[in-house]
């Protein structure tokens, strides 16, 4: 059986290379079943501040913290060209370029069976599923989504993505000790999906891949093999 091909969407201040490193345990866990392919966001982020460094000490795979060439999928603060998941904003910057980057990745490296996102990348994956459902991007044909530490964007401009429940089958993964995206924020995204599957782990802000999680991932992926 050919492995499922999954496009991987990294977190804010990460890139394809750093996210690949941080998901090594997941690749090992699912290696017979899944091929993970990574893409970098088009927006360059100014180097992490001390807050990001502090975050790095608390988590095995933080979203923010000194990655070389940090990248993002959109900015919630247009002037500062920065992002905060809890920042209310009318408009964002860069989302269209990011959709284009995913379209190019699908054309150049696809086809893909599914899509996986982490943190800002997970919130972006929910938007991409909505775009696919509204038939706004003919190249998008993801059969499933894995959303790790996802959330609903607080940007007014993005509320159109949550108008009707997304039919794409989804697995939502979040940690009870996540301080970057508290589990409450991940739970608020669930009603945006029809019949969301859930994997809750006791840890923080990272992609969990312990042997205890293998069965949940495999049961979810089995439907698409």
Give strand pairing partners of 93: 75
Collapsing DSSP to helix, strand or coil, 115 comes out as strand
Please say if 178 is a catalytic residue: yes
Please say if 158 is a catalytic residue: no
One of 98, 178, 186, 201 is an active-site residue; which one?
178
Q: Helices (H), strands (E): how many in the chain? A: 7, 8
- Using a 10 angstrom Cβ sphere, with 0-12 exposed, 13-18 middle and 19 or more buried, the burial of residue 112 is buried
Give strand pairing partners of 128: none
- Evaluate whether 183 touches 149 at the Cβ level (below 8 Å): no
One of 76, 92, 119, 186 is an active-site residue; which one?
119
Please say if 67 is a catalytic residue: no
Q: Which residues are catalytically annotated?
A: 119, 178, 205
């Amino acid at each position: 059986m050919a492995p499922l091909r999954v496009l991987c969407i990294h977190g804010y201040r990460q890139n394809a290379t750093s996210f690949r490193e941080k998901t090594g345990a997941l690749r090992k866990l699912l290696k017979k079943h899944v091929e993970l392919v990574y893409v970098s966001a088009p927006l360059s982020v100014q180097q992490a501040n001390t807050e990001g460094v502090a975050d790095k000490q608390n988590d095995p795979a933080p979203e923010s913290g000194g990655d070389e060439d940090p990248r993002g999928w959109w900015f919630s603060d247009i002037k500062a060209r920065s992002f905060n998941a809890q920042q209310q904003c009318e408009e964002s910057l860069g989302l269209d370029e990011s959709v284009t980057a995913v379209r190019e990745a699908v054309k150049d490296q696809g086809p893909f069976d599914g899509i996986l996102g982490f943190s800002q990348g997970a919130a972006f994956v929910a938007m991409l599923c909505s775009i696919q459902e509204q038939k706004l991007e003919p190249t998008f044909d993801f059969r499933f989504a894995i959303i790790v530490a996802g959330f609903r964007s607080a940007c007014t401009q993005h509320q159109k993505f949550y108008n009707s429940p997304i039919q794409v089958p989804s697995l939502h993964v979040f940690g009870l000790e996540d301080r970057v995206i508290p589990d409450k924020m991940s739970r608020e995204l669930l009603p945006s999906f029809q019949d969301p599957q859930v994997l809750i782990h006791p840890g923080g802000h990272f992609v969990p891949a312990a042997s205890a999680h293998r069965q949940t991932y495999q049961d979810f992926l089995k439907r698409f093999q």
